[in-house]
């Protein structure tokens, strides 16, 4: 069993729902009523996304560089 590590983004929408996404896996999103639920749901979505890619012979993207910038306005 392979282990993958991905960066995720979790945002809270105007209705208070947490929306989680994995930028490295285009179209891989989930949500939850709490931060923890959104992250756990996204873990499941990532797992399913990887399984689907493997079934059709597509490679699993590997993140190599993630950085952040600071902007003063």
CA distance 45 to 32: 12
The closest alpha carbon to 25, from 56, 55, 59, belongs to 59
Strand ranges, E, within the chain: 9-12, 18-21, 29-32
The dihedral through the CA atoms of 15, 22, 42, 51 has a sign that is: positive
**Coil/strand/helix, residue 25:** coil
pLDDT digits (tens, 9 = 90+) for 51-71: 999 999 999 998 766 667 788
The ranges assigned to domains in the chain are: 9-55
pLDDT value of position 64: 67
**Mean pLDDT confidence for 18-43:** 96
Better-scored residue on pLDDT, 2 or 12: 12
Task: Kindly state the percentage of the chain with pLDDT values over 90.
Answer: 74
pLDDT value of position 34: 98
- Domain 9-55, CATH: 3.30.160.250
For residue 26, give Cα distances in angstroms to 1, 32, 56, 60.
23, 19, 16, 11
Q: Average pLDDT over the chain, rounded to whole? A: 92
pLDDT value of position 65: 66
């Amino acid at each position: 069993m392979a282990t993958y590590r991905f960066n995720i983004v979790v945002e809270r929408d105007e209705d208070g729902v947490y929306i989680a996404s994995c930028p490295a896996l285009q179209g891989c999103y989930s949500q939850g009523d709490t931060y923890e639920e959104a992250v756990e749901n996204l873990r499941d979505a990532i797992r399913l996304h990887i399984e689907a890619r493997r079934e059709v012979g597509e490679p699993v993207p590997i993140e190599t560089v993630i950085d952040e910038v600071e902007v003063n306005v």
